Amino acid sequence: MRELPKMFRALSSASAARALPVALAACTMLASAVASAATPAISAVEGVLFSSGGGAAADGNYNVTFSLYKDEVGGNPIWFEGPVVIGVKSGQWQHLLGSTKALTTAALNGGTLFLGLQIASDAELPRKPLAAAAFAVRAAVADGIECSGCVGAGHIDSKFLAGYAKTADLNKVALSGAFSDLTGGPDLSAYVKGSALSKVATGGNYTDLNGIPDLTLYAKVTDLGNYVKAASLATVAGTGSFNDLKDKPVLSKKGDKCGSGLVMIGIKADGSYECTASAIAPDMIDEISNGLIYNQFIDTQAGTLDNAIPDGAGAGKNDSLDFPDIGQAQAIWVNVNLSNSDVSKVKIELYGPGMGTPYVLYNGEKAGSGFAVSFNKDTPLSTGDMNKDWVGKNIKGTWSITVKDPFKNQSTANDGKFNWDITIQTLSSKKVQVKGNVIIDNDLTVGGNLNVASVNNSILKPFTYRWGRSQGHDNNYTWPMGNSGDYSLGIAPSTWSNGAVAASISADKDLWRMTFVNGGRAEIGGALINQVIPQYSDSNMSEHYYFLFRVQNTTAGAINWAPTFWYSCGGNWSDYTSATINGINTWSTSSACYAGNCGTVNPTFAVPANRVSSVIFAVSSSVGWAPANFYHRLVLLAFTKGSLKLPAGLKFVDDLDTATGGWDK
């Protein structure tokens, strides 16, 4: 074996099988082979690896893949093996190509080959030419042949070709290619012939079949007479014309009427009706009831009356109100009635619940000395969109208005005044209003509380007050009901006859419901009790009557109510007649008197803002007198005409059945 030439080239960086960094590599390849019949399909290569710092790569084992290419750059390898593990010591390594995957003669085809190395998973290093001696492997296929074209036909022994085909040896069919020249062909005599076929196979006639089914039980033409005939069909079946239909639906006609199952919702520009399905809109109950039933309501919450407008004050006058929870708004507007020497200098701002930036209702758009305007109804806002913010929503909460007059033109502190309110239209899902009489043929079932009814016109109205009574001492049986205060607002009967006043009663609503078991209505005035009580002895103690008014203040300010009333009192037995609002002793007396000499009083009840208050009157019977030795007492509470007509901003409510809490509720 002769030694082949050696070569030395620098290769690119690689990484070790043991994850050792190798930045640069140098490779010397030695390819050797022997041109003989036993030439092995291997070729030796060797080289040197360098690290990125320039020195030899670290000693160890490296995973290397070897590939052969026809080109120096690009293309796919025509042979490869690996990864194989090679040992490196002082940077030097060697390997036998083909030791794990044989080198093929097709790969070593005599052309120039390039060797590529890939260390571990790094990119393949630049390819290098493979030494020519490696093609000794290819030479093995021509072992023993020393020349090209020097062997002729004469050199070949005729016996060598004796086994190969001659024309005389070929079968006739090999030359003609005709099927009929075949010998030993298959026998097709068993296959079908025309004479062997059934009659139906050539005639195709159903009647030629053997063993056909018996169809006598099935329909015959004569049996189809009962089926539809063209003459029996309606005209529309033949023409397809809609006009030939009978009982056609009523169709919408211009200016006439809507079709079947439709209702008119408007008139189009051409005069025809605009129709829709007959579903009833939630707010159409008044239209279809001829204006007798309504579920749309307009509610107003007023602010403080007669707010003075500071003259020349930038901060202006502010007033607030709390709007209750009455449902979602369909429409909302603000009524303002204002007077000022020059309304063109006035600015009005409005804040809704939770708003940080106000609506500007008015900013000097008018001239003159006053106006009464419904902002967001007949007059647009200066800035802001209340409909966008509140229509379809619940407007409950605190609303505040500020009226500013920064122009100083008066000698007095104020220049004019204003009143205001917020009004909404709601579509209620909780109540309806009936404008006419209600006639009920069968039973009336009430799920909630049923208040007293006006029998004359069958209109149910709520109580304006509740009342109860307790009896005093009985000569024979002492104090009634074991002297328990459960039936007299938490105060024992003996205490009512010994200095108790209305402000002393318990605030327990359950005790109230045990005492105020009766109800009545009085909205103008009248005698709530006017009764003479006969007695056999003046030592029988007095009777006591209790009257509860629940009064709601719907404004942001306190409102005074000063009713005038007649009363009775049996003060000679330490009985008091008294009145309280929310547990405050508003008025009381222990002066003994009959109805004729007690006179009238009109204490003032300060009704707090934005809440429901409790006003309670506790009335004792008068002292006894004995005409003809028969004793009498009188109990009286009578309000003068107009005394029960509440000031604006106040109204009676009947909520005792559901009220909770103490005096503050």
Domain of 109, CATH number, reads 2.60.40
For residue 307, the tally of other CB atoms under 10 A from its CB is 20
Please report which helix (H) or strand (E) contains residue 139, including its range: helix 136-139
DSSP 351-417: E-TT-SS-EEEEES---SSEEEEEETTTB--SB--HHHHHBTSB--EEEEEEEEE-----SSSEEEE
CA–CA distance, 517 with 1 (Å, rounded to integer): 133
CA distances from 8 to 22, 48, 67, 88, 487 (A): 18, 9, 18, 17, 122
**174 belongs to a structural domain:** no
| DSSP per position, 275-319 | EEE-PPPTT-HHHHTTTSEE-EEEEEEE--SSEEEETTEEEEEEE
Q: Pairing between strand 128-129 and 21-22? A: unpaired
Please check whether residues 411 and 493 belong to one and the same domain. no
Same domain, 504 and 550: yes
Q: Tell me: do 475 and 413 sit in the same domain.
A: no
- 635 found inside a domain: yes
More confident residue, 307 or 194: 307
Distance CA 346, CA 337 (A): 13
- Spatial distance between the Cα atoms of 46 and 28, rounded to a whole number of angstroms: 5
Q: Tell me the HSE value of 613 on the side-chain side, using a 13 A CA sphere.
A: 22
| pLDDT confidence tier of residue 525, bands split at 50, 70 and 90 | very high
* Residue 358's CATH number: 2.60.120.260
Nearest to 583 by CA among 608, 557, 555, 620: 608
Task: Encode pLDDT of 433-455 as tens digits.
Answer: 888 777 887 777 666 555 544 44
Q: What is the CATH number of the domain that holds 540?
A: 2.60.120
User: How sure is the predictor about 255, in pLDDT bands with cuts at 50, 70 and 90?
Assistant: low
- State residue 169's pLDDT score: 74
> Given the structure tokens 């909780």, which residue do they identify?
430
Non-local (6+) Cβ contacts of 58 within 8 A are 16, 20, 22, 51, 88
CB of 481 closer than 8 Å to CB of 509: no
Q: How far apart are CA 11 and CA 26, in angstroms?
A: 5
Look at residue 211 and tell me if it is in a domain.
no
Residue 386 has pLDDT above 90, yes or no: yes
Tell whether 580 and 486 lie within a shared domain.
Answer: yes
The total of structural domains in the chain comes to 3
Q: Are residues 413 and 529 in the same domain?
A: no
Which of 116, 142, 168 is a domain's end point? Answer: 142
Least confident interval from 138-152, 272-286, 292-306: 138-152
Same domain, 388 and 508: no
In whole angstroms, what is the distance from residue 380 CA to residue 221 CA?
A: 84
| Residue 647 and residue 516 in one domain | yes
Of the two residues 211 and 564, the one the predictor is more confident about is 564
DSSP assigned state of 191: S
Among candidate residues 57, 56, 59, 70, the one with its CA nearest the CA of residue 116: 70
Indicate the residue among 379, 401, 427 that finishes a domain.
427
- Look at the block and give the residue holding tokens 């900013």: 363
| 251 or 387, which is more confident | 387
Q: Is residue 180, in this structure, part of any structural domain at all? A: no
Least confident residue range of 79-93, 371-385, 402-416, 452-466: 452-466
CB contact at 8 A, 636 and 527:
yes
Tell me: do 337 and 469 sit in the same domain.
no
Regarding predicted confidence, which is higher, 226 or 630?
226
CA distances from 214 to 207, 210, 218 (A): 12, 12, 9
The yes-or-no verdict on residue 562 having pLDDT over 80 is yes
Range of the domain at 116: 7-142
Asked whether residue 162 is assigned to any structural domain, the reply reads: no
Whether 420 and 469 share a structural domain: no
Q: Is the pLDDT of residue 139 over 90?
A: no
- Is 43 inside any structural domain? yes
Of 75-84, 255-264, 328-337, 341-350, minimum mean pLDDT range = 255-264
Q: Residue 113 has what pLDDT?
A: 86
Q: Domain check: are 469 and 397 in the same one?
A: no
- Domain ends where: 93, 121, 142? 142
Nearest to 664 by CA among 621, 612, 597, 628: 612
Q: What is the mean pLDDT of residues 419-439?
A: 84
Q: Is the pLDDT of residue 102 over 90?
A: no
Identify the band that residue 147 occupies on the pLDDT scale cut at 50, 70 and 90.
low
646 contacts 652 by C-beta, under 8 angstroms: yes
The more confidently predicted of residues 613 and 444 is 613
Range from 13-22, 111-120, 451-460, 599-608 carrying the lowest mean pLDDT: 13-22
Whole-angstrom distance, CA of residue 516 vs CA of residue 507: 13
Supply 147's token pair.
């020349």
Are residue 607 and residue 498 in the same domain, yes or no?
A: yes
The H or E element spanning position 553 is strand 544-553
Number of C-beta neighbours around residue 477 at 10 A: 7
Instruction: Render pLDDT for 35-52 as a digit per residue (tens, 0 to 9).
Output: 344 455 678 888 777 776
Least Cα distance to 547 among 448, 657, 637 occurs for: 637
| Non-local CB neighbours of 79 within 8 Å, separated by 6+ positions | 67, 68, 101, 103, 104, 107
Mark whether 368 and 512 lie in a shared domain.
Answer: no
In a domain, 410, yes or no: yes
Segments of 98-196 assigned E as strands: 114-119, 128-129
Say what the pTM is: 0.38
Cα–Cα distance measured from residue 577 to residue 528, given in angstroms and rounded to the nearest whole number: 15
